[in-house]
A = this chain, B = another copy of it.
């Protein structure tokens, strides 16, 4: 699949078929995460591939009760638990090097997660990123070590249903500026405020 097409056609998938995901496919997906850039190449990410139905069932109890995510977690053939080792990303000689303190692991996990979801999509799989759950409870279920934080859960599998259109996005004129903040980016040949939603340039 073409790279730009992959980026523009990825959708969050919440309904998976029963089809298993083989190890070779999983390996390509984790290799994609592995090759994300990271703060000073610290690679603070760690991933648990949860396939055991009992563990998925337990994990689902860490989701809010009203959240349809419980069903997604249990039904997906694989749930990737995305962890960040703390105190590495954003640090220099053992101390936080920026005003972001110890939060750069969130950024690096985002970089790796996007590589992962794009690789999955390119291989015909779907995924969704879940962040709203009781992380402390899920960390206990997964036996996560001290110094490592569970950031997100990514159910992964072959889509049974893929949303036809993307959720609407803000027009470019609302969040792209030129040279300084609040100086709009005007390209001259097009009106950046009238983009067809779900029909982007790609």
A interface list, Cβ under 8 A from B = 1-8, 10, 12, 23, 26-28, 30-32, 34-37, 39, 41, 43, 45-52, 55, 83, 90, 92, 97-100, 103-104, 106-115, 117-119, 121-123, 129, 131-133, 135-136, 141-145, 148-149, 151-152, 166-170, 172, 175-182, 185, 187-190, 200-202
Contact = CB atoms under 8 A, between A and B. Distances in A.
A43 B98 contact: no
Nearest to A52: B179
The CB with the most chain B CB atoms within 10 A, among A107, A187, A190, A201, is that of A107
Contact of A111 (B110, B135, B149): B110
Contact of A28 (B4, B152, B170): B4
B23 A8 contact: no
Chain A, interface SS category:
mixed
A51 B178 contact: yes
Contacts of A182: 143, 145
Given A49-B177, A109-B107, A98 B28 contact: no
Nearest to A174: B46
A103 B200 CA distance: 29
B135 A98 contact: yes
A102 B111 CA distance: 18
Nearest to A128: B37
A32 B55 contact: no
Contacts of A35: 7-8, 10, 166, 169, 200
